């Protein structure tokens, strides 16, 4: 890192409700489609990602401001360590909450998004910050929002 007076975060895939939320991000998208279409079509279901709730992103940034001197001049992965999940594992977690959900594995088609990786968040965790909001809590939150909002959910991407 060239500059000695910065902190850089590589964010995991963000999930959770927010004003002007993006429904193209994987967890938000899977929950939205599970409710609206009652099915998920998975291409390359073994592809894995790391996730983090939007509130944990905010908490991570606030933590870095408060602990700037200790954290500066470094790059950190910011994600939820218990949420290194494959697309299929994520779909099963949603199905635990929405029993009617049908999960269809589509073979012989490549996912246009070829990201597939495990992410370690240990570096930031060793410095004192750990994401707290579990993926299951975020799924519950999104189910509640998508089932109960009277407003039309607008994609903001």
Residue identified by tokens 């939820």 is 80
**What's the predicted TM-score (pTM) here?**
0.92
For domain 7-148, which architecture applies? Answer: 3-Layer(aba) Sandwich (3.40)
pLDDT in tens, 22-39: 888 999 999 999 999 999
pLDDT in tens, 118-142: 999 999 999 999 999 999 999 999 9
Give bridge partners of residue 87 from the DSSP assignment.
none
Residue 110: predicted pLDDT: 82
Given a cut of 70, is residue 1 above it in pLDDT? no
Quickly list H helices, the chain.
26-37, 54-66, 68-71, 87-97, 122-126, 135-148
- Delimit the domains of the chain by residue range: 7-148
Q: Which of 69, 83, 64 is nearest to 124 (CA)?
A: 64
């Amino acid at each position: 890192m060239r500059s000695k007076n910065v902190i850089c975060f590589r964010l995991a895939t963000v999930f959770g409700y927010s004003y002007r939320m993006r429904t193209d991000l994987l967890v938000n998208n899977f929950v939205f489609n599970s409710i609206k279409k009652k099915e998920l079509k998975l291409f390359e279901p073994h592809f894995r990602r790391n996730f983090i709730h939007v509130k944990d992103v905010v908490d991570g940034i606030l933590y870095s401001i408060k602990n700037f001197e200790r954290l500066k001049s470094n790059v950190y992965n910011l994600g939820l360590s218990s949420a290194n999940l494959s697309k299929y594992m994520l779909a099963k977690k949603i199905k635990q909450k929405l029993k009617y959900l049908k999960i269809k594995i589509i073979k012989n088609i490549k996912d246009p998004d070829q990201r597939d990786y495990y992410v370690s968040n240990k570096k930031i965790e060793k410095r004192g910050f750990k994401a707290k909001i579990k993926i299951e809590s975020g799924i519950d939150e999104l189910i509640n929002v998508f089932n109960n909002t009277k407003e039309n959910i607008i994609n903001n991407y």
